[in-house]
Amino acid sequence: MHKKEKSMKSRKLLILVAPLLILSACQNPSDSSSGTTSSPALSSPDSSSSPDSSSTPESSSTSTGITQNLDWTSSDFQALTELTLDDAALKTLSESYLAHFNDADFKKDNTNVKKLTFLGENYNLETLFSSKGQTDPVFPNLETVILTEAKTIDDSSFKDHTQLKQIELPDSLTNIGSQAFSGCTSLTDIAIPAGVTTIQYSTFEFCTALKSITLPETVTTIENSAFTNDTSLAEITLPSSLTTIGSEAFLGSGLESIVLPDSVTELGEGAFRECHKLWNIKLSSKLTEIPYAAFKDCTNDLTFLNTISNITDFVLEIPEGVTEIGDYAFKGNTYLFNLILPSTIASIGSETLEGTACAIFYRGTKLPDGLDPTTLFPARCPFYFYSETEPAQDSTEKYWHFVDNVPTPWTK
């Protein structure tokens, strides 16, 4: 009896054809003397079965072992550590098993499952992991997920699986749903296959251990909050195919440096807000607007790189072509010393530079009507118009020019 119990401690469940659930035991070498050579196979329970049923499971000898009705309280189920599911079996698991999800025994039994391998296209992932009324992860201690042929990962599929460390995505994958990996706080790296074009809403938010993510050249859109509060994400290479970065896409992330490729034409509000470690930014030459709070409360030493040539430290240069800067865009950037505004600027929001003490270098010679630097910017921020040649000594305005790529005021 002791040997039998010991052999149940580590098990793998291989589910290949519904309704059969084939359970293969990972037997401890010390139990080899027990003489057990076949592994028990468990068939899916009748939909009317109850987890507290006291009936004894029926069993019969087969070529693959023992076939029996699954009892949620059985030691067989409690000992499972790995599951391999095809589409048919996944459908059975989703529709029949999860009817018992709120039962304490069912939740308890699932805590040993650490590895899931999915065969086929996995049409029922959403049902399995996001059933109606379900508030907790089905497999709370899941560490590894392998998808072999999936085309779609549904919304919230692996949300809040805090122990998930490894996910293998197939080349067949074309869609990852919103919040699919939200709250996976142990996930450290992931590679997105080339078929994916959009990183959807909150897909990787609160993945606080995520350090590396590989985006393919097919990605065109990063939606709102996609990487919000990914505090370990120090860098990310954005593909040259990218056109849109959504609102708060990287809010509170650990980014230290970011290059927006010239393909980017749209930047969402608060896209890099509260990125406290961010110090090096290169903006896309195709941007026409710096939106509301885009870089608000980025309190590190910010260096914005010119889209043509590098500018020295502590300079933020807005590229030519930008026409609008939203409210609070750079508010609270206490280490921002110099700001270069493009001659194309037509609108500047309120409190754009509130909390800063930077000098403002405007590339034009006259501001558009309605833009008054004395009301737009803090009094401690001197404003300069551009002049390639030394201005007249009696000029009432302040002027600047470049000296070795450094914005330099003309002195009177």
pLDDT tens figures, 216-260 = 999 999 999 999 999 999 999 999 999 999 999 999 999 998 999
Distance CA 153, CA 175 (A): 6
State how far the Cα of 207 lies from the Cα of 159, in Å rounded to an integer: 10
Distance between CA atoms of residues 45 and 213, nearest Å: 40
* Cα–Cα–Cα angle for 155, 157, 160, rounded to 5 degrees: 110
pLDDT on residue 322: 83
Amino acid 84: pLDDT: 80
Q: What is the pLDDT of residue 1?
A: 47
User: What is the model's pTM?
Assistant: 0.67
Inter-residue contact 159 to 185 (CB < 8 Å): no
Q: How many residues does the chain have?
A: 412
Tens-level pLDDT at each residue, the chain (412 residues): 444 444 444 445 444 433 334 333 333 333 433 333 333 223 333 333 333 433 333 333 222 222 233 444 455 556 778 878 777 666 655 555 555 555 555 555 567 888 888 887 765 565 556 544 556 677 788 899 998 888 888 888 888 999 999 999 999 999 999 999 999 999 999 999 999 999 999 999 999 999 999 999 999 999 999 999 999 999 999 999 999 999 999 999 999 989 999 999 999 999 999 999 988 888 888 888 888 888 888 866 555 544 323 333 456 778 788 888 888 888 877 767 788 999 999 999 888 888 888 899 999 999 998 899 988 898 889 999 999 999 988 889 999 999 987 889 998 7
CA distance 306 to 313: 11
User: Which pLDDT belongs to residue 67?
Assistant: 28
Q: Which amino acid is at 182?
A: S
CA 55 to each of CA 1, 74, 76, 408: distance values in angstroms, whole numbers, following the listed order: 21, 11, 16, 87
Q: Give the DSSP letter string of 226-281.
A: TTTT-TT-------TT--EE-TTTTTT---SEEE--TT--EE-TTTTTT-TT--EE
C-alpha angle with apex 222: 216 to 223, nearest 5 degrees? Answer: 150
Between CA 99 and CA 52 the distance in angstroms is: 13
Query: Is the alpha carbon torsion for 375, 378, 382, 387 positive or negative?
Result: negative
pLDDT single digits (tens) 100-113: 555 555 555 567 88
